[in-house]
Amino acid sequence: MQIYIDGQWLDRKDAKVSVFDHGLLYGDGVFEGIRVYSRRIFRLGEHLERLYRSARAIALEMPISQQEMAVIVADAVARNRCEDGYIRLVVTRGEGALGIDPSSCPRPSIIVIVDQVAVYPRELYEGGVNVVTSPTRQVSHEAVDPRIKSLNYLKNILAKIDARIANAHEAVLLNNEGFIAECTADNLFVVRNGVISTPSPQDGALEGITRGVILQLAADAKIPAREARLTRYDLHTADEAFLTGTGAELMPIARFDARAIGNGKVGPITARLRDDFQRLVRVEGEPIWEPDGSTQKSKIKYRPSAVGT
Which residues carry out catalysis? 149
Residue type, 163: A
Residue 102 DSSP one-character state? G
Structural contact between residues 1 and 80, judged by C-beta atoms closer than 8 angstroms: yes
Give the integer Cα–Cα distance in Å for 22 and 135.
Answer: 29
User: Beta partners for 92?
Assistant: 29, 109
Alpha helical stretches, state H, 114-237: 124-127, 154-165, 209-220, 232-236
Residue among 129, 165, 169, 171 nearest 255 (CA): 129
CA atoms 52, 24, 141, 191: torsion sign: positive
Alpha helical stretches, state H, 80-192: 124-127, 154-165
Query: What does 42-76 look like in DSSP terms, one character per residue?
Result: TTHHHHHHHHHHHHHHTT---SS-HHHHHHHHHHH
297: how many CB neighbours lie within 10 A of its CB? 12
Structural contact between residues 88 and 112, judged by C-beta atoms closer than 8 angstroms: yes
Structural contact between residues 131 and 251, judged by C-beta atoms closer than 8 angstroms: no
Conformation bin of residue 294: beta by default, left when phi > 0, alpha when psi is -120 to 50: beta
Structural contact between residues 302 and 67, judged by C-beta atoms closer than 8 angstroms: yes
Residue among 83, 138, 155 nearest 114 (CA): 83
Residue 213 DSSP one-character state? H
